[in-house]
Amino acid sequence: MKLLTLNTHAWLEDNQAEKMDVIAETIVEKEYDIIALQEVNQLMSSPAISQALKQDNYGVVLLNKINPRVRQKYSLFWSNSHIGYDKYDEGIALLTKLPVYEVDAFYCSQHQRVDSILSRKILGLTVEYQGRLVDCYSCHINLPNCEGEDQLDNIRAIVERNQSQNLKILMGDFNTDAISDPVAYQNIKCLGLLDTFDIAEQKDSGITVEKAIDGWNGHSEEKRLDYIFLNQPKQVLSSQVIFNGKNKPVVSDHFGLDVELIL
């Protein structure tokens, strides 16, 4: 199973069109089974194309670049989390070419209003892969020291969302740096989660942010903020950072994470 997670920083990047083309080309090349995206924005003022989606939804535009070039078409699932930068519906998304049996969008945070940046929506899909059902989640989590929220409770809400025996895959921006805050990182794993980076047979540095960014002002050191966690042990063939200027051009203020595992 091929997985990709990326915080896209949608519509906030210089040369945004060229960067989106890089992402689309990479997805066509790599043929990921599941793609988790965070900060998937649309202007609140844009024309609607469905009850939830606007014409300029980053996921919609990306999908329209991918599907004409692939044999097995991808489906887009998106949910709004909160207002971003005073003008965007900031949401999360999953793209998959696998059969989907259930879609589950829910707040993992105590804050659950679109006018609060502390409101954190999670998007879950139950998909079928090689005859097995798998629960996949695109996650954008609050900081560990976020006032009014308990990060571990937020993540626990995802882990305990359903009582199925399915493999759960939590993918995304967890806003916890395994390098500078090993205690917070270890606390996440103590919820019963395995970091695919830890158990990968092939891996690189795992660094997904190398400068100060929104939410990490004054923290210019290299950071590992983006993860793919499992709730069951599996063989992880590789964990590679992508879109970092070495493995594909930089496309966002976060790098992506490309993981391949065997179920």
Query: pLDDT value at position 163?
Result: 86
Query: pLDDT value at position 215?
Result: 62
Ranges of the chain with pLDDT below 50: none
Tens-digit pLDDT profile for residues 162-207: 889 999 999 999 999 999 999 999 999 999 999 999 999 999 999 9
For tokens 């535009």, what's the residue? 61
DSSP codes joined into one string, 25-42: HHHHHH--SEEEEEEEEE
Question: In angstroms, what CA-CA distances link 98 with 76, 109, 136, 188, 206?
Answer: 11, 28, 11, 28, 27
Q: Which helix (H) or strand (E) holds 105?
A: strand 100-107
**Token digits of residue 178:** 């395994």
> Strand order in 226-230's β-sheet?
100-107, 121-129, 132-140, 167-173, 226-230, 194-195
